[in-house]
Amino acid sequence: MALNVISLYDLLKSIPTEDDIKTLLFSFKTLGSQDSAGADDVEYFLHNKSIQFEKMDLARTYLVMSTYKSKPILVGYFSISNKPLTIPNRQFRKLSNNLKKKLLGVGFKTEQSSYVVKGYLLGQLGKNFSNEAILANCCNGNDLLQIAYKKVAEAHRIVGGRILYLECENVEKILNFYKANGFNQIEDYESENGYCMMIKQLKDII
């Protein structure tokens, strides 16, 4: 079954009232887990923050659509930001020398000794677990990542960049998913939110 990608930015430009858009966004449901609270964040972002982020040009959200019984349905979404990865000096010093060398191969140190590398933040990635989306059964996490890669590749051709990165919970199932898709975890790194950092070089995507 074909998947179509719709930019939330384009929807906001073409549809005069936001109520219809919000109806679509609120059709997205996540699957709760005792091991992970992040699923609630994925749902909350789409319902309550995605439109604001579009208007403020903080991120671009893409809705992945399919059909079920000839009716269009939202099966997943992702959001991307053109945002460099910055690791504070106190965190950078904790990394192994081998990892420091690898990171400095794609980034640089600032005057404040923070580590910076130009790239893109995969802020959100989520599959819809509403009843209709489950019945349609036409999209999984790997599909969403492949679509996100294409959007990142388009951005790279225009403005460059070295990595795609994301923050995720320290949950084995989540970490294994991204590792299976070629992301590497920055060991001994924890974000301000207590999340793990995963990175993938754009040369492996474009």
pLDDT of residue 15: 86
pLDDT under 70 in the chain at which residues?
Answer: 1, 32-38
Euclidean distance between CA atoms 64 and 76, whole angstroms: 5
DSSP tag of 46: I
pLDDT of residue 38: 67
pLDDT of residue 99: 79
How far is the CA of 28 from the CAs of 13, 25, 55, 63, 87, in angstroms? 21, 6, 21, 10, 33
pLDDT of residue 4: 93
Tokens of 111: 């005057």
pLDDT of residue 63: 98
β-pairing, 60-68 with 119-127?
unpaired
Q: What domains sit in the chain, N to C, each tagged with a CATH number? A: 4-204 (3.40.630.30)
pLDDT of residue 123: 95
Euclidean distance between CA atoms 84 and 121, whole angstroms: 8
